[in-house]
Amino acid sequence: MCGVFGIFGHPEAANMAYLGLHALQHRGQESAGIVSSDGERLFGHRAMGRVQSGFSPTDLATLPGDRAIGHVRYSTAGGSHLKNAQPLGVDYARGSLAVAHNGNLTNHEALRDRLEARGSIYQTASDTESIVHLIAMSKKEELRDRIAEALTQVEGAYSLLFLTERELIAVRDPRAIRPLCLGEMASGSGVTHVVASESTAFDLIGARKVRDVAPGEMLIISADGVRSEFPFAQEPRKLCIFEHVYFARPDSTIQGVSVYEVRKAFGRRLAAEQPVEPGDDLVVIPVPDSGVPAAIGFADRARAPFEMGLIRSHYVGRTFIEPQQSIRHFGVRLKLNPNRAVIEGKRVVVIDDSIVRGTTSRKIVKMIRDAGAREVHVRISSPPTRWPCYYGIDTPTRSELIASSHSVDEISSYLTADSVGYLSLEGLVESVRSLEARAGDASGARPSAESYCHACFSGSYPIPFTPAAPNRQLRMVSG
């Protein structure tokens, strides 16, 4: 999972991109990069780690111009190297080009083999580089046509930003699997156009969200304004529903719907589907931060008090000194600590967004019991995660997903919980669909139950693919 940000027509474009990436930091902490243009040349800076540590005022001063694109990367399969950081920048026969990508190309291995056989030399392990090679090989005159021709040869998920000396081009794949939205802000006597993975990036810089980029839409942003084209064959929309479950920030909107409200709706539906016997000794607590909105919804529907029974530390760094045996569950305790004052003597319902391997959930249950809880009931505001994602989210192999090989009762036993309950797939989809239908969109279209990708829960993949062999998967890095 990654985040992209683009801006055109602002005198401090690089600084605005820095702030936009900061607002998208939750989408990737492994590396960050910005490429700017002054209308004649491209200038770039990329760094490992988070945005704040990778960009100093001196670094930003080397990025002149009134247009820029930026990228934050989430660690995926492949090496953690600066060469894989984006935006990727290249010089080719028709000028300079930079590209930032959120998503994953499912036919990357076949593409790479074909392109290497034709003489392409790869500098990175990124699937995004295949798009650059395809653009460079195109015989089309206009860049937008070269991009369109290149993208007709790729399969998978992509929200892409391209920057040249003269224009910024944004493209969303025909199934709209990954989010992308358009915004604008006043700048002097003109209008500054911005594009980002999530609307929360607009809030920080004082821009307003105009709309979501449509499935298969290409936006060409230049000094003449914004032009919209639809160069691809129409496909059924398949928005990743896990964006609503976990990845998107709760203060973002996707397709006109507040992510925060969606997560509360998950919690209310979960309380209806997987209730816990009421009583004065019942308390609902979230696993912070992603479990908070769902826990609020659950508590509201269950008529039980919502409490912060787990306190999250906001100062956990990437490295620390870990005792080998002196403190059990040390890693989890670095992030979470039970609040005994609200847990002791209570029957606790603990709400989380998902269970992956189950190891962390088991430690959390143990901590809650050690804090004096009489009962611990685990409730998950999504269905069991049984299948890996091949569209840009770094999930473990299927054998590592506890729900792929264990029943709910077996998971409950492993977690040492009194009970475990998941939100149903029907409840998940309907919660999002009903809110999105109520909000509507500019086209008047209404989503159906088939408008979302939920392959990680159902195994129903919207794009055919052949998983890479393990030895080949290691060399591939998603955008």
Q: Distances in Å between the alpha carbon of 399 and those of 244, 357, 363, 394, 462? A: 25, 9, 21, 14, 21
Distance of alpha carbon 423 from alpha carbon 294, whole angstroms: 11
| CA-wise closest residue to 339 among 403, 391, 283 | 283
The sign of the dihedral angle between the CA atoms of 355, 359, 364, 369 is positive
Report if residue 445 sits inside a domain: no
What's the CA angle centered on 256, arms 33 and 428, to 5 degrees? 95
Q: Distances in Å between the alpha carbon of 354 and those of 60, 131, 205, 338, 402? A: 38, 33, 32, 19, 11
230 & 268 share domain: no
pLDDT at position 188: 77
Three-state DSSP class for residue 295: helix
| pLDDT tens by residue, 166-187 | 999 999 999 999 999 999 999 8
Does residue 150 carry a pLDDT above 60?
A: yes
Instruction: List the alpha helices (DSSP H) in 41-162.
Output: 51-54, 57-61, 108-117, 128-137, 143-151
Residue for token pair 């969200």 = 209
Does residue 406 carry a pLDDT above 70?
A: yes
List CB contacts of 459: < 8 A, sequence separation 6 or more. 386, 387
Residue 479 pLDDT class (50, 70, 90 cuts): low
Does residue 451 carry a pLDDT above 80?
A: yes
Q: For the residues 39-52, what does the mean pLDDT come to?
A: 95
Report if residue 10 sits inside a domain: yes
Q: 378 near 352, Cβ under 8 Å? A: yes
| pLDDT tens by residue, 72-104 | 998 654 457 888 899 999 888 888 999 999 999
Q: Mark which of 238, 265, 280 sits at the end of a domain.
A: 238
Residue 313 pLDDT class (50, 70, 90 cuts): confident
Report if residue 475 sits inside a domain: no
163 & 209 share domain: yes
Distance of alpha carbon 420 from alpha carbon 45, whole angstroms: 47
151 & 200 share domain: yes
Indicate which CATH number applies to the domain containing 75.
3.60.20.10
453 annotated as ligand-binding: yes
181 annotated as ligand-binding: no
181 is catalytic: no
Report if residue 347 sits inside a domain: yes
194 & 289 share domain: no
pTM over 0.85: yes
Distance of alpha carbon 223 from alpha carbon 165, whole angstroms: 11
For the ranges 32-46, 301-315, 338-352, 462-476, the lowest mean pLDDT is seen at 462-476
- For the ranges 94-108, 109-123, 373-387, 459-473, the maximum mean pLDDT occurs at 373-387
347 & 377 share domain: yes
Q: Mark which of 428, 445, 468 sits at the end of a domain.
A: 428
Between 189 and 146, the more confident residue is 146
pLDDT at position 441: 54
Q: Distances in Å between the alpha carbon of 63 and those of 57, 75, 165, 194? A: 10, 25, 13, 17
Report if residue 250 sits inside a domain: no
Distance of alpha carbon 113 from alpha carbon 119, whole angstroms: 10
Residue 464 pLDDT class (50, 70, 90 cuts): confident
Q: For the residues 124-148, what does the mean pLDDT come to?
A: 92
204 & 281 share domain: no
Number of helices (H), then strands (E), in the chain: 18, 23
Report if residue 459 sits inside a domain: no
388 & 288 share domain: yes
pLDDT at position 108: 87
The mean predicted confidence, pLDDT, of the chain is 91
pLDDT at position 467: 52
User: Percent of the chain, pLDDT > 90?
Assistant: 78
Q: What residues make up the domain containing 265?
A: 257-314+329-428
Report if residue 205 sits inside a domain: yes
37 & 101 share domain: yes
Residue 325 pLDDT class (50, 70, 90 cuts): low
Residue 56 pLDDT class (50, 70, 90 cuts): very high
104 & 55 share domain: yes
pLDDT at position 440: 75
456 annotated as ligand-binding: yes
Q: Mark which of 203, 238, 273 sits at the end of a domain.
A: 238
188 & 306 share domain: no
Residue 443 pLDDT class (50, 70, 90 cuts): very low
Active-site option among 2, 42, 205, 295 = 2
pLDDT at position 384: 98
Overall number of domains in the chain? 2
Report if residue 442 sits inside a domain: no
Indicate which CATH number applies to the domain containing 376.
3.40.50.2020
Residue for token pair 């409950």 = 412
99 & 221 share domain: yes
194 & 278 share domain: no
